Structure 1
Amino acid sequence: MGIIKVLPFVLLAVGMFLVFKKIRQVPSEMTTKSPSRKMLGCCVCETHIPEREAIMYRDKVYCSEAHLKQGLGEDE
């Protein structure tokens, strides 16, 4: 008879757990992957960096200003 008295509380606890789990869930539109980011290789050290962080000069890619200067020194 003890189980019959405890069963409603167990069911209530499980129900509350499921509700809170659903509330905390991130909406599916927020979990979609961000658009792929193009990676470019530095023409001096060949390190790959995101396109948005790259320094582009004369159709060449550089990972830093130091490598840009180094690359310009080689072109002359």
Structure 2
Amino acid sequence: MGLFRLLFWIALIVVAIWLWRRLVKPRPDAPRNTSEAPPMVRCAHCGIHVPASEALSSEERWYCSRLHLEQGPKRP
């Protein structure tokens, strides 16, 4: 009877620790939906990527600033 009681308490402690760790452990966030990210475009002058809503367009090219728009595309 003593061995059964010992095994019972060990099992109870293991289950309690498992439940406690499961409740306290932070759950990983859901994978971020990539559709939430704004569409990005590449500056024809410097190559930096900027949101399309902030970029300036000229002759089917995108630029990150007015200065780069005026300077035009980078030449090799």
Q: Is contact 1:39-1:48 (8 Å) kept?
A: no
TM-score by length of 2: 0.53
Matched residues in 1 for 2:11 and 2:65: separation? Answer: 65
- 1:39 is matched with 40
**Unpaired segments ≥5 residues, structure 2:** none
Equivalent residue pairs, number: 66
Deviation of 1:11 (Å) = 1.1
Matched residues in 1 for 2:10 and 2:44: separation? Answer: 70
- 1:56 is matched with 57
Calculate the aligned-residue CA RMSD, in Å: 2.9
Deviation of 1:48 (Å) = 4.7
Matched residues in 2 for 1:5 and 1:48: separation? Answer: 62
Structure 1 3/33 Cα, relative in aligned 2: closer, same or farther at 3 Å?
same
**Unpaired segments ≥5 residues, structure 1:** 72-76
Which of 5, 8, 11 is 2:12 aligned to? 8
Provide, for residues 2-26 of structure 1, a one-character-per-residue CA deviation record: whole Å limited to 9, x for no partner. Answer: 44432211111112222334xx325
| Structure number having the greater helix percentage | 1
Which of 1 and 2 has greater Rg?
2
Identical pairs, percent: 23
* Alignment-mate amino acid for residue 65 of structure 1: R
TM-score by length of 1: 0.53
Secondary structure, in 3 states, of the residue corresponding to 1:61?
strand
